[in-house]
Amino acid sequence: MTELLVRCFIRDSDHVEDAKVRQAYGRLSGLVGIVCNVILFTCKLLAGLMTGAVSIMADAFNNLSDAASSIVTLIGFYMAGKPADPDHPFGHGRIEYLSGLFVAAAILMTGFELLKTSVEKILHPEALSFSAISIVILIASILMKMWMARFNFNLGHKIKSQAMQATATDSLSDCIATSAVLVGVIVTMITGKNIDGFIGVLVALFVCVAGFNAAKETIQPLLGQAPDPDLVDNIKKRVMQEDMILGIHDLVIHDYGPGRRMITLHAEISYKEDIMEAHDMIDNVERDLMQEFQCTATIHMDPVVTDDEELNLMREKVEALVRTLDASWKIHDFRMVRGNTHSNLIFDLVVPTDALKDKFEIEAKVRDLIHIMNPNYNAVITVEQSYV
């Protein structure tokens, strides 16, 4: 069903890096969400009015909030697809994250309201009247929400959308919530004991947890989370395909919304290479990265001395020394400046982010160990973190 809808309503559906195609996916997700949730709200509202069950009524208004969330998702994808302008040179892609955050906030607000209403029903219970039609409506609702969750998970996975993943998570929590309501209805019909308020509390808690998880997932990209390790590995593999490139470091990936990345890195190239040939090769790699990863790529070329035996020997010794202190530490930009009385070893030392608080102690320790190893060498060290 999902593939059928995609084929019918989305042109060039495989070109997910295209902003217009992403807009089409968002439009399809939003429209399906609005239609399905309005149908569910209407059916559950009627069932709730017929039975007087607060849990069913609560579930109905939960679906109404889902319809509103779908409208927000629809607007968010439309605005995120707007091109860059003078005030927003990196485009508007992060609006998609904001729409997902708004959806999460709506879920949380709904959950708190449901919790409040359910507690009131526990303190002041009312007589209920259930019928077979209410059970049929709840079962149909569960099945529809299961399909909607799968639908949005599939779309969200295909275009890597946090907003759609949040919507899918919401639908999945609705399945659990409505199942709890159904169990409560059946228990009340069989035993005659009114547990409607307690089921309402359970539903509200499920909704709140779903809202919290959705908020967490959408906030992370806005805060600047680390990039996907697979993406990092694929970028490194592509760059290192070039024989002229000996190594890379200082890779940074900026995320300005889905399909709007900026990549910067330093590529190490032998100082003996022809600078014009090296520059041409770097240009080709940048273009390939743009096409393959839908990003803007900038590569800085670092010349590396490869035929200095003393320098190469000291690099190996310093690398071995650093590994004895911490296997995760790495060095790059290793240079040697010789003098009459001593030589300076200049390099960058990359440590995990949580070790940066001790950067001055780390710098002093490595510098002292190098001096102990050979008093003729002074180390000039820049301690930095990795961004991938």
What CATH number did the domain enclosing 380 receive?
A: 3.30.70.1350
Question: Are 146 and 281 members of one domain?
Answer: no
Residue 363's Cβ-count burial label (10 Å; 0-12, 13-18, 19+) is middle
66's tokens? 């889902």
Query: Final residue of a domain: which of 275, 304, 333?
Result: 304
Question: Are 156 and 252 members of one domain?
Answer: no
| pLDDT average, residue stretch 93-101 | 77
* Cα–Cα distance measured from residue 230 to residue 228, given in angstroms and rounded to the nearest whole number: 5
Under the banding of pLDDT at 50, 70 and 90, the label for residue 227 is confident
* Cα–Cα distance measured from residue 311 to residue 95, given in angstroms and rounded to the nearest whole number: 50
pLDDT of 245 higher than 90: yes
Question: Are 94 and 68 members of one domain?
Answer: yes
CA 123, distance to chain mean position in Å, is: 42
Question: Are 218 and 300 members of one domain?
Answer: no
Query: Final residue of a domain: which of 281, 304, 327?
Result: 304
H and E: helices and strands count for the chain: 11, 6
The pLDDT of residue 258: 64
Question: Are 28 and 106 members of one domain?
Answer: yes
Question: Are 281 and 206 members of one domain?
Answer: no
Question: Are 120 and 253 members of one domain?
Answer: no
Question: Are 240 and 134 members of one domain?
Answer: no
pLDDT of 113 higher than 80: no
The pLDDT of residue 126: 66
Dihedral Cα 311, 314, 316, 321, nearest 10 deg? -160
CA 382, distance to chain mean position in Å, is: 31
Question: Are 154 and 282 members of one domain?
Answer: no
pLDDT of 196 higher than 70: yes
Residue 381 · residue 361 · CB < 8 Å: no
pLDDT of 320 higher than 90: yes
The pLDDT of residue 128: 63
Question: Are 41 and 66 members of one domain?
Answer: yes
Amino acid at 91: G
* Cα–Cα distance measured from residue 211 to residue 79, given in angstroms and rounded to the nearest whole number: 23
Question: Are 118 and 59 members of one domain?
Answer: yes
> Looking at the 3D structure of the chain, how many domains does it have?
3
The 10 Å Cβ neighbour count of residue 270 is 14
Q: How far is CA 283 from CA 247, 287, 290, 291, 300, in A?
A: 17, 6, 11, 13, 11
Question: Are 153 and 80 members of one domain?
Answer: yes
Which pLDDT tens digit goes with each residue over 33-78? 889 989 988 888 888 887 777 667 777 877 877 787 777 777 777 7
Least confident of 34-38, 212-216, 355-359: 212-216
* Cα–Cα distance measured from residue 381 to residue 388, given in angstroms and rounded to the nearest whole number: 21
Q: Give the residue, 357 or 174, on which the prediction is more confident.
A: 357
Q: What is the CATH number of the domain that holds 64?
A: 1.20.1510.10
Of 44-48, 187-191, 251-255, highest mean pLDDT = 251-255
Token pair 């190594």 in the structure block, residue: 247
Least confident of 8-17, 111-120, 143-152: 8-17
Under the banding of pLDDT at 50, 70 and 90, the label for residue 135 is confident
Angle (deg, nearest 10), helices 196-223 and 162-191: 170
Q: Give the residue, 60 or 381, on which the prediction is more confident.
A: 381
| pLDDT average, residue stretch 365-382 | 90
The percent helix, strand, coil of the chain (3-state, each to 5) is 65, 15, 20
Query: Final residue of a domain: which of 223, 256, 271?
Result: 223
Helix/strand/coil for 299: strand
Which pLDDT tens digit goes with each residue over 1-10? 777 787 777 8
* Cα–Cα distance measured from residue 182 to residue 216, given in angstroms and rounded to the nearest whole number: 29
Which pLDDT tens digit goes with each residue over 324-354? 999 999 999 898 988 888 889 999 999 988 8
Domain span at 244: 229-304
The pLDDT of residue 259: 64
Mean pLDDT of the chain: 83
